[in-house]
Amino acid sequence: MRELVLKNVAKSYGGVHALKSVDLTATAGEIHGLIGENGAGKSTLIKILAGAQKPDTGTVVWDGEELSLSNPVEAVRKGIAAVFQELSLIPDLTVAQNIWFKRESLSIVGSVRAKKLYARTEELFASLNLPDIGPDRVVSTLTVGEKQLVEIAKAISTNPQILILDEATSALSHAQTEWLLTMCRRLASEGVLIFFISHRMREVRNIANRITVLRNGNSVGSFELGEKSDDEIVTMMLGRRIAQLFPEKSTTPPGSELLRAEALSVGHRLRSASLSVRAGEIVGIGGLQGQGQVTLLSALAGAISADGKILIEGEPKSFSNPRDAMRAGIGIAYVPEDRKTQGLLLAKSIRMNLTLASLSALSRYGFVNKAKEGEVVDRLIADNQIKVSSPEALVSSLSGGNQQKVVIAKALETHAKILLLFDLTRGVDVGTKSEIFKMMQSLASEGYGLVFYSTDLEELAHVCHRVLVMSGGEIVKELQGAELSDEAILAASVGADEVKTNV
Ligand SMILES: Nc1ncnc2c1ncn2[C@@H]1O[C@H](COP(=O)(O)OP(=O)(O)OP(=O)(O)O)[C@@H](O)[C@H]1O
Ligand SMILES: [Mg+2]
């Protein structure tokens, strides 16, 4: 049986010890889950395996041969392919050009060649049992989920012996995730070694045969699935127990109405959606992916214009951009679909990213109060448990999950009364998730009104006071109290009338 053996692998970036010492053994045909807190070193480890980074010390041996890779192309040649956490497709090229990049002629002028490339791409998608995305589509026009599928198809098309998936499901819909899990099982049965990284414990449990936990740059243990309970795994990850992932829902009775939307419509994407959010309420927006939830939140946030009425504390308002919405008291903890291009200024410091949205509150006569800014930044970093070497470091040097925390902290610092929270916990580790949920409950009990869009049904059921389920651009069901459960949300999402409460 072919084995991959890592011994004492270490990697530093300047003074940051991303990996201190990692030992790990994995076998061909196995699905190996790699889990750990944000910043634990998972992505760094897979970058080393995939040739994107060189380790400072330690050895990587695959099938008896010590690997010393200088770049990902060389890794692919050795049979190692990776889907990295941050998407890496070239936006201006087509799907086909991206998939066969550096492997086939890219000339689109030679139309015979282009046709061949398209045909091969269609064959590839068919062989993977994927719907045809359209080989001639330019990547920038794809949804994030589609881009992710193209990345995965590209990696599999190299016929790897080792396939590495770093948070590959975080942008996928429920159905797309099911497809990926089935694909992983198929490849593993053909002898491929798969590394699977995800912050969704259920997914890892569902798919992995073996799990390795990383903590603070060290491997703290590997075990077979079933050897440990979720509780034990979380304790290994965090070095402490967490009492509950989902804290008690706040019980403060709802106060006055903060936000009201009447018959909001945007073409056929959003059809006459009405909702009301009172002080102290957390209102969830659920449904299968792509049923108008994003359009609804974007309309409320002023990011797109909609027919219908929006009232803030009873006053009709019309927003032509997010700034108007902000002035009217809508805060958006907006965690965009693609953090890399929409949520952060990657080339700027952590400090600057954190305070950009609230700079006017920190300034007088156009000058930023540096001392005050420093205090705010330190507090935000501490409150949100963002792991940074220094606030002056570039935000691009943070791990994926820590970048996410910066986006969240930045939005919450604007002190709006109504918060629109957009898929907040994507890529965030379980310890921080529970902190975020605690923070949401305390904001609710302080009289904020929260609208929470999540793709995670369990999260919606355990965090929200009420959940509005959307389908085909409409709000089709409202669930609350005893009838609110993840099964009920799913049933309403797929249009099942009778809600089965016991399985
Ligand atoms: N290019 C870089 N420069 C400086 N520090 C870096 C760089 N890349 C990663 N780090 C640091 O190395 C540590 C490990 O990061 P890594 O991305 O491997 O974590 P991770 O386990 O993948 O986390 P997440 O779950 O958030 O994706 C973090 O503290 C991160 O800030
Ligand atoms: Mg990572």
Atom of ligand 1 nearest to the CA of 42: 21
Q: Whose CA is nearest to atom 1 of ligand 1?
A: 397
Give residue 503's pLDDT.
31
φ/ψ of 219, rounded to 5, equals -80, 125
Q: In which element (H, E) is residue 158 found?
A: none
Q: How far is the CA of 96 from the centre of ligand 1 (A)?
A: 31
Q: Whose CA is nearest to atom 31 of ligand 1?
A: 398
CA dihedral 52, 55, 56, 58 (to 10 degrees): -170
Q: How far is the CA of 382 from the centre of ligand 1 (A)?
A: 18
Give residue 173's pLDDT.
82
Cα–Cα distance, 260 to 276 (Å, whole number): 4
The closest alpha carbon to 16, from 50, 53, 51, 52, belongs to 53
Q: Which residues contact 205 (CB under 8 A, 6 or more apart)?
A: 225, 230
- Residues less than 5 Å from ion ligand 2, measured at CB: 42-43, 85, 399-400
Which one-letter DSSP state was computed for residue 394?
B
Atom of ligand 1 nearest to the CA of 403: 26
Q: How far is CA 53 from the centre of its chain?
A: 23
Tokens representing residue 250 in the block? 């706040």
**Residue 284 DSSP SS3:** strand
Q: How far is the CA of 173 from the centre of ligand 2 (A)?
A: 20
Q: How far is the CA of 155 from the centre of ligand 2 (A)?
A: 18
pLDDT in tens, the chain (503 residues): 899 999 999 999 988 899 999 999 999 999 999 999 989 999 999 999 999 999 999 999 999 999 999 999 999 999 999 999 887 899 999 999 999 887 765 545 556 677 888 999 999 999 999 988 899 999 999 988 899 999 999 999 999 999 999 999 988 888 899 999 999 999 999 999 999 999 988 899 999 999 999 999 999 999 999 899 888 998 999 887 777 788 899 998 999 999 999 999 999 999 999 999 999 999 999 998 889 998 999 999 888 999 999 999 999 988 888 778 877 877 666 666 665 566 677 778 889 888 876 776 777 777 778 888 888 889 888 887 788 888 998 888 888 778 878 887 877 776 678 888 888 888 888 888 888 898 889 889 989 999 999 888 889 999 999 999 999 999 999 999 999 998 899 889 887 654 443 33
Helices 400-412 and 430-445 pack at an angle, to 10 degrees, of: 10
Q: How far is the CA of 14 from the centre of ligand 1 (A)?
A: 12
Tell me the CA distances in angstroms from 326 to 309, 316, 408, one per residue in order: 17, 15, 16
**Residue 477 DSSP SS3:** strand
The closest alpha carbon to 400, from 475, 322, 340, belongs to 340
- CB count within 10 Å of CB 113 equals 14
Question: Position of tokens 């448990």?
Answer: 385
Q: Which residues, judged by CB distance below 6 Å to any ligand atom, belong to the binding site of ligand 1?
A: 13, 16, 18, 36, 38-44, 85, 387, 397-402
Which among 169, 339, 399, 407 is the best mutation to test ligand 1's pocket, defined by most ligand atoms within 8 Å of the CB? Answer: 399
Q: How far is the CA of 381 from the centre of ligand 1 (A)?
A: 16
Domains along the chain with CATH numbers:
3-238 (3.40.50.300), 255-329+416-497 (3.40.50.300), 347-415 (no CATH)
Give residue 117's pLDDT.
86
Q: Whose CA is nearest to atom 18 of ligand 1?
A: 41
The closest alpha carbon to 204, from 170, 238, 171, 176, belongs to 170
Q: Whose CA is nearest to atom 19 of ligand 1?
A: 39
Dihedral sign (CA 14, 20, 26, 32): negative
**Ligand closest to CA 84:** 2
Cα–Cα distance, 400 to 408 (Å, whole number): 13
The closest alpha carbon to 392, from 353, 357, 358, 427, belongs to 353
Tokens representing residue 392 in the block? 């002056």
Q: How far is the CA of 21 from the centre of ligand 1 (A)?
A: 15
Atom of ligand 1 nearest to the CA of 14: 4
**CA geometry: angle at 200 spanning 195 and 206, to 5°?**
65
Q: Whose CA is nearest to atom 27 of ligand 1?
A: 400
Q: How far is the CA of 399 from the centre of ligand 2 (A)?
A: 5
Tokens representing residue 62 in the block? 């695959």
Amino acid occupying residue 133: I
Q: Whose CA is nearest to atom 24 of ligand 1?
A: 38
> Cβ distance 302 to 322 under 8 Å?
yes
Q: How far is the CA of 388 from the centre of ligand 1 (A)?
A: 10
Dihedral sign (CA 343, 349, 353, 354): positive
Atom of ligand 1 nearest to the CA of 36: 21
- Give this prediction's pTM: 0.82
